[in-house]
Every structure is written in structure tokens, then in C-alpha cells.
Structure 1
Amino acid sequence: MTQFKFSKRVPADGTDAVGAILKAAADPQIISFAGGLPAPELFPVKEMKAAVDKVFATHGQEAMQYGAAKGVTALRELIQHHVKEKENVDAELDNVLVTTGSEQVLDLVGKAFVNPGDTVLVEQPTYLCALDVFKTYGANFAGVEMDEQGMKMDALEEALKSRPNTKLVYTVPNFQNPTGRTMALDRRQKLAELAAKYDVYVLEDNPYGEIRFAGQHVPAVKSFDKTGHVFYMSTFSKTLAPGFRLGWLVADADVVNKLTVLKQSADLHTDNLVQYAVAQFFADNDVDAHVREISDLYGKRKQLMADGIKQYFPAGVKYTDPEGGMFLWVEVPGVDDTVELFKECLKHNVAFVPGDPFFAGKPQPGAFRLNYSNAPEDKIKAGMKQLGEALQDAVAGK
């Protein structure tokens, strides 16, 4: 058998622990809270079809032709207006890059800024795919402690002082994946100040920010950026359609230009038809009302999940209480191996994502992520009861 000489960027053991977990959770007999999927019943299928039909009638040739790597102008203008209206971020058109999903932003930023051995500071825990991407480019990681108000700025500054080769700080400040926590306003201001003070870049990832069902909106970290050190990224995946693979970056024009060159060598440009269709959808529909519908549904589902935790989980279990987004975080004391706990829960026909892959350093035993956006209400009620029984058995040592 041929021994392929893969690059050092490919994981040596070839394993995909998270993929294996999600595959196991995909069994139709399993009630799965493991995926990070939006509710498909709220996809605006009819309205999007109308938008696509109109695009073919008015921009058919342009939509089917090669396009600009930075993206379709109409969509970039829409994003420019959106970040000003929603996040108080002033941007010129040259500051906006459309990408093939927000995952491509992670990859382009990693490729453009992270040299082997550079340090990337991340929330502890953090989005597991960001860890995977930056690891590909040789990053070293250091986790920064969080509390219910998000990343702790005193801990961040200590990390910056002790790691002078830090290149990047990665944060998900709104309804964080995996914890659901939101960074406080004063910490956002401080984060922008620290980025300038220590000459490091902040990648602010905001895929969930619009899906708020409680509390008050908090302006983006980027809105406090006076030096260009903060790069703001988001996506249409959580509010319109993840299958469209449509994300964007707002950053200094020099950064956008460099990343545009890298994007051209990766995929030339993002799907033109999808870009035109989304711009048309925004023109023809009340998108704010659509997002409110999503937020209302997710709020109800989150509350059902929280009620299930209170009713069925063992005493002493801690959990976050997000004001939006798609996830909450559970910590079960007395559990030493969360992956084994996952296997035990599968026996009760219910699944979550173990917390281990979300940690840059040593994982926290007994921690896991639950997704409430994708499961219907009856499944949440039944699944939380089954999950509670599994946890009770595990804690009791059965």
C-alpha cells in the first residue's frame, strides 16, 4: 500500500474525533443536541426562490459569469450598511470582503498572519474549528480564562505580556460557541485598547450576534477600534442559509487587499448567484422580522432546555444562560472523562458534543456543549429527560 507523504499541516494520526461523535449522534434513534445547525423550518425557501428567479431575470449573465474576488458590489454595499446600522462600525466599500462562508475568513487570516510558532490567544474554551484552522498554519495556543462576562481582560493582558510573539487574539464575543456567553461592553473597549497597545490583531467572529432573544445589544469590538487592529467577521449562515456558504470580513483596506489575493488562489471568488440572490432577498423582504422569528423560536427552545436541566440533571450541575445564539454549556462535577460520558449518554439515545475539542490546553472534565436551535420542542423535552437520567447514572457510578 502506498505511503502518502502528507504535509505537516495534515494531522498525523488522521483521526476526526468530532466527526466520529457527530456520526454517532446522527443515528435516527438518537436525540442529538450535538450539531450546530439552525432550524431548517425557518429557512425562507419561498422568498429565496423568488429572489433567485428575479436575479436570473435581471442579472442572469452576470450571475453565471466569473466575478470579482472581493465580491458582488451590491452585496458588499449591503454589508457595509449592515455593519454600520447594526454594529456602529464605519466601513468603506474597500473594507469589505465577501468569502465562501466565515470558515474561509479563518483560513485566510491564518494564512496571511500566522507563521509557525506564532501564538494565538483564544477564549478558554473556544470554537473548535478555529483551533483546527490556526493549528494548520503552525500556531501555538494559549487559552484565556473566561467568566460569565466573557474573556477576562486582566488575564488577556497577562498573556500578552508573557507571550511577546502573540500575533492574534481570536474571540466570539456574542453568544459564544461553545458557552453561549457574551462579552461585556467595558471588556470590548479594553480589548480594542489592548490590541493597539501590544500591536496584536483581534479577529472578532460574530456569527450569532443578531439572534438575541433577551437582554440588550452590545456594540462590536470593532466599533471601538481606532487603529485597524480589529478584524470583524460574520456570516449569513445562521440567519438565512448555511448551505449558501456566504460570509464576510470587514477590515483595513490593506488587509482586505492581501486576503483578496489569497482568496483568488483558493477559489477565485465566492458563488455569484448566491451573492446576487442574498442582495435581492434583502431588497424584497423584511429581514429584521425574519431574524426576530428565529430569535423567538430559539429563545423558547433555550428555555425548554434550561427547564430540563433544572428538573432532571444531578445536583451541582452548572450551566450557562445565554441571551441569544444557539448553544449553552454544561459542567458536571465529578466526571473525569467526558468522552466516556458521551458514550454512556448514547446508550440512553441522547447526544451532546464533549467539551474536550474546544480547549486549546488541558480540557475541563465533565464539560459539554448543547445545541437548542435544531431540535423540535418535543425532542428537547424528551431528550433532556434522557440526558438527565444518563448523567444521574454516571454520577452515581452505575
Structure 2
Amino acid sequence: MYEFTAPFQTPSGSPIRELFRYLSEPGMISFAGGYPASDLFDVEGLASAQERAYQASSRCLQYGPTDGLPELKNELLALMGRRGVLCAPEQLLVTTGSQQGLDLLLRILVAPGDVVMTEQPAYPATLQAMKLQQASIVTVPVDGDGLDVGKLASLLASGVVGRPKLLYTVPTFANPTGATLTRERRIELLKLAVKYRFLVVEDDPYGDLRFKGDTIPSILALTNEVEGSRDWVVHFASLSKIVAPGLRVGWTIAPVEIARRCVIAKQTVDLCSSPWTQATAAEYLADGALERHLPRITAMYRRKCDALCSELRSQLGDAVKFHQPEGGMFVWTRAEEIDASQLLMRAIENKVMFVPGKAFFADKLDPSALRLSFAAPNVEEIVEGVKRLKRAYDELLAAGISAV
């Protein structure tokens, strides 16, 4: 009846958001969504920041510049400076969450059929955005140290895929694997980007959530060590995981010619991100509230991550394999003998949820993989949730339903 464009003729929604209908069930424990813990929101600090911001009420209620309020951009530039990155204001664009930054970048760079690369497994919304842009997606595997840069180098050298427009990665506490790309691999990735002339798209929403180990500079910060590489990096960041997703404040740092075109693309999308929440975020950052509050978040996430990993070992033992992350929000798990989608159905019956791994693959699915997020539930819920997961696992084995 309706003549939809090709990408929307048979679209598929987010496999994670499709699980949200189960959240309202009484007693449900969720390891599914990548939600930060609501009880860790700095409610008082944000309320105070909003009160100060609203003293300039007309500024909060009026349209703002497409590239972001100057006061917020100044605070974000200062924040990036503390992260080892110096950039000019015209290189930074405020977005409505970092996901909008990816959407804008794909709009200005990727035509139907263009080759784009992504680590695999990868964030499902990234795969969804690439598919809707009708890109040709080429995947690169990951291991416990993040993107396998050696395999990427071999793939590029073979010439099989042609020249990719970009490569997307979450190098620090990746979603979904929790893995962190080593410093050495980051340097090699930058060298490959310069050699083969493709953009490294670095998505960094979790970098501040480190609770163990030593900090590794972002890929963008390491461009100082590889000549010519700054021209080949686009960096996304966000306040969603470290302050509150309801602010919808993200930002893109890119070469000027890319940033300028993203601003024009954003004009057709939403004109500007909400000045009210931008002003609130600017006041919050200017007050130093983020630096004061982050230790509370990371300390609690450490407790939660330790509890989840301890319970997985205690309850499921050798039945599951996983890498314990040093930060972030996720534990990537494989249950060798089980189809995770079948396990999910049993788990929901036992009032516990997770995301089956197939949601994170563009190809070569791993049916035994599942993502567990420890951020939102409290420690007691994590302990009980793993017990319920073990019960679901045992029921599935007893029913003779195997994976693979």
C-alpha cells in the first residue's frame, strides 16, 4: 500500500528494546539493558545545576546553536583536555546522545554499497544504523584484548574488501564484550588508518568507568604518536553512562571538514540539542560535580562486577566462559552447550533476563553467547539473578535442548 524506501521495507527494531516489555513483570531481574544504575544518579547535583542554568531561563527555553551552547562546548573541551585531547571548538559538535553522532557521520560519508568495517561482536544500534544506510558491512573479530588488529591488517592487505570508508570500535570496556583494546593495538590501528586511508570511529561512552587496572589513553589521544593519524579519527563520547542518559548529551570530535558537514546534517534532524539540558550539563561540569561523583559510581560498579563474576563461577562453574572486565558495564559470557535464545525463554520464566549474543553479530553468529549487564541491578539482585539463571540452564539441559 505504501511505497517505503528500501531500508524501511522490512526493518527490524532493536533486539534489546524488544525485551523491555518483560521489565514490567513483577519480580523480574534484568541483566539485559545497558542502563546505568538509577540509584547512583547525582540527583542533588543535577538539580542544583539545573537551578543555576535556569537563572537564564530564556536561554534554556529558546533555540540554540546547532553545534552546541558555547558554555557547554567550553566545558567539554576542558573535559577532553583532562583526557589528553586538545581540539578547537569547530572540531566539536554537541549531539543528542552519541548515537546521533554516528547517524550524522554515516549520513555524510556512507552511500549505499560503501564498505564499512566494525568489530564483532558489536553494539546492535551501530549495526542497525549501518544497515539502514545500506552499507556493506565487513566484520573484524575481537578477543580478550579487543579488536584483532592483526587480522584487520591481513584483511586490508588482501584487498578483498577494497578500501573501507570507516571502522567502528568501542575500544574501552566494549559493548558487549567488556574488552579493552591494548595501547599497542591502538597504535597499530592508527598506522593502518593512515596507510589505507579509512576513518577510525572511536565510541567512548564507558572510558571513565574504570574500576581496576591502569588507564589507557583513547585512540584520539594517541594520534600524537602516529604522524598524520589525527585526520583519520572521529571520536564519540557521552554523559549518558557517567551522569544520566536523560540529559541526552553527547559530543563528536572530528576533523573540521567532517564536523562542519555533521552540523549541516544535524540542522535537518533536530536543529539543535536541547538548550535546557545542555545548560544543565554545562553547570554540572563547571562545578566539578562529575569528578566528585565518578568515584562513587566506579566503586559500586566494581562491587557489582565482582559479585556477578563470583556468582557465575560459583553457580555455573565450567559451564560458562567469560572475561572479567576492568570497567564498564558488561560481562560477555559463553554457555558452551546451550542456545542462548532458548536459555532466554527459560530465564524469563524464572524472572531473569539477559541479551542473547546473536543480537551483536552482523554475520557468523555465536548461538552460545550472552551479554550480562551488572550496572542496573543491586548486588542482592545480581546474586539472586544468577541463581535463577542457573535454574533456567538446568531446566534447559534436562529438557535435552542443546545449542549447536
Verify same fold: TM over 0.5: yes
Residue among 357, 366, 369 paired with 1:367: 369
Residue among 123, 126, 145 paired with 2:119: 123
Corresponding residue number in structure 2 for 1:376: 378
Residue among 86, 89, 92 paired with 1:93: 89
Code of the residue aligned with 1:28 in structure 2: it is P
CA 1:392–1:314: 2 relative to 1, 3 Å? farther
Q: Which secondary structure state, in structure 2, belongs to the residue aligned with residue 266 of structure 1?
A: coil
Distance 2:78 2:33 in 1: 32
Distance 2:33 2:174 in 1: 15
Residue among 276, 287, 305 paired with 1:302: 305
**Count of aligned pairs:** 393
Code of the residue aligned with 2:71 in structure 1: it is A
Code of the residue aligned with 1:360 in structure 2: it is A
Residue among 243, 265, 280 paired with 2:246: 243
Corresponding residue number in structure 1 for 2:68: 71
Cα pair 2:16 2:33 within 8 Å, conserved: no
Code of the residue aligned with 2:67 in structure 1: it is K
Distance 1:265 1:199 in 2: 29
* Deviation at residue 397 of structure 1 after TM alignment: 4.1
Cα pair 1:38 1:238 within 8 Å, conserved: yes
* Deviation at residue 396 of structure 1 after TM alignment: 4.6
Corresponding residue number in structure 1 for 2:21: 23
Corresponding residue number in structure 2 for 1:109: 105
CA 1:17–1:62: 2 relative to 1, 3 Å? closer
Corresponding residue number in structure 2 for 1:282: 285
> Does residue 171 of structure 1 match 2:169?
yes
Cα pair 2:243 2:290 within 8 Å, conserved: no
Distance 1:184 1:16 in 2: 30
CA 1:155–1:293: 2 relative to 1, 3 Å? same
* Deviation at residue 286 of structure 1 after TM alignment: 3.4
Distance 1:307 1:51 in 2: 38
CA 1:16–1:5: 2 relative to 1, 3 Å? farther
* Deviation at residue 239 of structure 1 after TM alignment: 1.0
Code of the residue aligned with 1:18 in structure 2: it is I
Code of the residue aligned with 2:136 in structure 1: it is N
> Does residue 9 of structure 1 match 2:7?
yes
Q: Which secondary structure state, in structure 1, belongs to the residue aligned with residue 205 of structure 2?
A: coil
Deviation per residue, 1:69-103 (Å, 9 max, x gap): 010111111111111211x1221111110001111
* Deviation at residue 391 of structure 1 after TM alignment: 1.7
CA 1:300–1:14: 2 relative to 1, 3 Å? closer
* Deviation at residue 289 of structure 1 after TM alignment: 2.2
Give the unaligned 5+ runs of structure 1.
none
Deviation per residue, 1:238-258 (Å, 9 max, x gap): 111101111000111111101
Distance 1:48 1:21 in 2: 30
Q: Please provide the CA RMSD for this pair.
A: 1.5
Q: TM-score, normalised by structure 1?
A: 0.95
Code of the residue aligned with 2:307 in structure 1: it is L
Cα pair 1:118 1:165 within 8 Å, conserved: no
CA 1:187–1:15: 2 relative to 1, 3 Å? closer
1:44-83 alignment, distance < 5 Å: 44-57=42-55, 59-83=56-80
Cα pair 1:25 1:34 within 8 Å, conserved: no
Cα pair 1:168 1:201 within 8 Å, conserved: yes
Cα pair 2:77 2:87 within 8 Å, conserved: yes
CA 1:77–1:354: 2 relative to 1, 3 Å? same
Code of the residue aligned with 1:256 in structure 2: it is A
Distance 1:83 1:13 in 2: 37
Q: Which secondary structure state, in structure 2, belongs to the residue aligned with residue 248 of structure 1?
A: strand
CA 1:196–1:137: 2 relative to 1, 3 Å? same
> Does residue 319 of structure 1 match 2:322?
yes
* Deviation at residue 259 of structure 1 after TM alignment: 0.3
Q: Which secondary structure state, in structure 1, belongs to the residue aligned with residue 277 of structure 2?
A: helix
Corresponding residue number in structure 1 for 2:333: 330
Corresponding residue number in structure 1 for 2:187: 189
Residue among 241, 252, 255 paired with 1:252: 255
Q: Which secondary structure state, in structure 1, belongs to the residue aligned with residue 33 of structure 2?
A: coil
* Deviation at residue 22 of structure 1 after TM alignment: 2.9
Code of the residue aligned with 2:31 in structure 1: it is F
Corresponding residue number in structure 2 for 1:385: 387
* Deviation at residue 263 of structure 1 after TM alignment: 0.3
Corresponding residue number in structure 1 for 2:198: 200
Q: TM-score, normalised by structure 2?
A: 0.94
Distance 2:315 2:359 in 1: 26
Cα pair 1:314 1:391 within 8 Å, conserved: no
* Deviation at residue 273 of structure 1 after TM alignment: 1.0
